């Protein structure tokens, strides 16, 4: 994809020393939002422990809620 990836908390640790692994809660995306702003990234993506949920922040570090994400995804999927 030609992306530069900056990983946060990518070492497995079942005690979750950084924060609870629920990426749908704003407080759990705080460090991701800070990293996106600091690195001038286009987007930040966080996954829960088994990657069945995700959280996304935009280039300003603002959370993009699931209903908005679904709309963006549908625009790419539907003809």
State mean pLDDT over 2-11: 92
3-state secondary structure of 1: coil
Fold assignment, 1-79: Alpha-D-Glucose-1,6-Bisphosphate; Chain A, domain 3 (3.40.120)
| pLDDT recorded at residue 38 | 98
* Mean pLDDT value across residues 30-42: 97
**Whole-number pLDDT of residue 23:** 92
**Tokens of residue 39, six digits:** 């690195």
Average pLDDT in the chain: 93
The answer to pTM > 0.75 is: yes
* Residue 7 falls in which region: left (phi positive, over 0), alpha (psi -120 to 50) or beta: beta
Q: What is the pLDDT of residue 22?
A: 93
* Residue 26 exposure: Cα atoms within 13 Å on the Cβ side: 5
Residue 37: exposure state from Cβ atoms within 10 A (0-12, 13-18, ≥19): middle
């Amino acid at each position: 994809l030609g992306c530069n990836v900056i990983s946060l908390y990518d070492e497995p640790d079942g005690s979750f020393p950084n924060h609870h692994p629920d990426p749908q809660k704003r407080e759990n995306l705080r460090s991701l939002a800070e990293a996106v702003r600091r690195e001038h990234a286009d987007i930040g993506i966080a996954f829960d422990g088994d990657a069945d949920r995700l959280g996304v922040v935009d280039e300003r570090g603002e959370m993009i809620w699931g209903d908005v994400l679904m709309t963006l995804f549908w625009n790419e999927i539907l003809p």
